[in-house]
């Protein structure tokens, strides 16, 4: 199976850190975020990886080269303008001729891709979206009422279960029939699939996942990873 890692964003929410460094190249501990993404992908036997880059693109090639030092066959696809998440993979249609993985190059996760692939194959369908389970606590008791305004259920401070789109996807090649230039997966492609009554699966996972979206998130995550690396170096 092949993978595409999307790394073309500007990372505006992480400024000032991203003025000189693209978000996937920001370091957590002693490695760029993207290196962790590549490592988790490689650990599940995926060696052929494409990365789509735009903003400060030379930094990706300078650091990763052809990927051989990281145990993968890496091909870098450079974009002169923003093509959005789905538009970024259009030029790879010939190469992605069987089930393939797409994920964001700036999200930190140890998701079990083997289990996700098994789920995708078992369920069938054109696409599987990895959904991170997220409990949202409610600080008040909730009541449910019927059409006569009679309370029939009451729950004190429940935790509501929601599912976050993690930006980790498995697709069949048929997906290209529903992608137009400069489209976004979440805003454009997935709604088009649902309108066409195409099956989209939701793979719920509990492994770690984080979109390092703001400067504070990045600073806290960097401290945590650095601490773990320091402890491991002493063992």
For 22-50, the pLDDT digits (tens) are 888 988 878 898 999 999 999 999 999 99
Q: Running DSSP on this structure, what letter comes out for residue 165? A: E
Q: Which pLDDT value is given to residue 81?
A: 78
Q: What is the pLDDT of residue 101?
A: 97
Spell out the residues 6+ positions from residue 32 whose beta carbon is closer than 8 angstroms to its own. Answer: 24, 25, 26, 63
Residues 6+ apart with CB under 8 A from 93: 173, 176
* DSSP per-residue codes, 39-58: HHHHTTT--EEEEEE-TTTH
Q: Is residue 149 part of a domain?
A: no
Portion of the chain with pLDDT greater than 70, in percent = 88
Phi, psi of 105 (to 5 degrees): -85, 0
Answer whether residue 155 is part of any domain.
no
Please count the structural domains in the chain: 1
Does residue 113 lie in a domain region?
Answer: yes
CATH number at residue 85: 3.90.550.10
- Residue 139 domain-assigned (yes or no): no
Measure the N-to-C terminal CA separation of the chain; round to a whole number of Å.
36
* 37 lies in some domain: yes
Bin 55: left if φ > 0, else alpha if -120 < ψ < 50, else beta.
beta
Question: Do residues 6 and 104 touch, judged by C-beta distance below 8 A?
Answer: yes
Q: Are the C-beta atoms of 5 and 103 separated by less than 8 Å? A: yes
**pTM (2 d.p.):** 0.83
Query: 154 lies in a domain?
Result: no
Q: What is the pLDDT of residues 162-194, one digit of tens each?
A: 788 899 999 999 999 999 999 999 999 999 999
Domain that holds residue 22: 2-131+162-234
Is 51 within the bounds of a domain? yes
């Amino acid at each position: 199976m092949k993978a595409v890692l999307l790394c073309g964003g500007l990372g505006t929410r992480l400024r000032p850190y991203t003025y000189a460094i693209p978000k996937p190249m920001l370091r957590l501990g002693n490695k760029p975020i993207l290196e962790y993404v590549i490592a988790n992908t490689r650990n599940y036997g995926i060696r052929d990886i494409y990365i789509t880059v735009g903003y400060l693109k030379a930094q990706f090639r300078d650091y990763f080269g052809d990927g051989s030092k990281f145990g993968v066959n890496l091909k870098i696809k450079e974009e002169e303008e923003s093509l959005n998440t789905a538009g970024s993979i259009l030029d790879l249609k010939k190469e992605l001729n069987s089930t393939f993985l797409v994920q964001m190059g700036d999200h930190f996760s140890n998701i079990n891709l083997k289990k996700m692939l098994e789920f995708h194959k078992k369920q069938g369908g054109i696409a599987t979206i990895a959904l991170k389970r997220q409990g949202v606590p409610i600080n008040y008791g909730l009541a449910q009422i019927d059409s006569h305004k009679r309370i029939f259920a009451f729950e004190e401070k429940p935790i509501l279960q929601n599912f976050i789109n993690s930006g980790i996807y498995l697709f069949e090649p048929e997906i290209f029939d529903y992608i137009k230039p400069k489209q976004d997966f979440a805003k454009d492609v997935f709604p088009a699939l649902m309108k066409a009554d195409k099956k989209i699966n939701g793979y719920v996972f509990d492994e770690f996942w984080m979109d390092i979206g703001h400067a504070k998130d990045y600073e806290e995550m960097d401290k945590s990873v650095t601490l773990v690396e320091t402890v491991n170096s002493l063992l």
